[in-house]
Amino acid sequence: MTDITAILQEIVTEIEPLRSVGATASYIPFLQRVDPNKFGMCVRSLEGEEFTVGDCDEPFSIQSIVKVLSVAMARGVMGEELWQRVGIEPSGNAFNSIIQLEIEKGVPRNPLINAGAIVVCDVLLEKVSDVEKRFIEFVRALAGNPNIDYNLEIAESEASVGYLNKAIGNMLKYYGTLKGDVDRVLDFYFKQCSICMNCRDLAQAFSHFANHNEAFSFGGVELTRSGVKRLNAIMQTCGFYNGAGEYSYRVGLPGKSGVGGGIAAICPNRYSVAVWSPRLDSKGNSVMGLKALELLTTKTSVSIF
Ligand code: GLU
Report d(CA 125, CA 180) in Å as an integer. 8
Mutate to test the pocket of ligand 1, among 27, 32, 64 (most ligand atoms within 8 A of CB): 64
Please, how many CA atoms are within 13 Å of residue 240, restricted to the half-sphere of its CB? 29
pLDDT at 303: 87
8 A C-beta contact, residue 48 and residue 247: no
Task: Taking residues 41-69, report their average pLDDT.
Answer: 97
pLDDT at 280: 96
Residue-wise pLDDT tens digits, 71-100: 999 999 999 999 999 999 999 888 889 999
Q: Is the CB of 63 under 6 A from ligand 1?
A: yes
Exposure b/e, 18-45, CB count within 10 A at least 16 = b: beeebebbeebebbeebebebbbbbbbb
Residue-wise pLDDT tens digits, 140-169: 999 999 999 999 999 999 999 999 999 999
pLDDT at 214: 81
Q: Quick check: helix, strand or coil at residue 266? A: strand
Q: Is the CB of 242 under 6 A from ligand 1?
A: no
Q: Quick check: helix, strand or coil at residue 68? A: helix
Q: Is the CB of 258 under 6 A from ligand 1?
A: yes
Q: Is the CB of 4 under 6 A from ligand 1?
A: no
Q: Is the CB of 194 under 6 A from ligand 1?
A: no
pLDDT at 293: 98
pLDDT at 140: 98
Q: Is the pLDDT of residue 170 over 90?
A: yes
Task: Taking residues 175-183, report their average pLDDT.
Answer: 97
Residue-wise pLDDT tens digits, 9-54: 999 999 999 999 999 998 999 999 999 999 999 999 999 999 999 9
The dihedral through the CA atoms of 50, 70, 153, 240 has a sign that is positive
For residue 20, report the distance from its CA to the centre of ligand 1, in Å. 22
pLDDT at 193: 98
8 A C-beta contact, residue 276 and residue 286: yes
Report d(CA 59, CA 40) in Å as an integer. 10
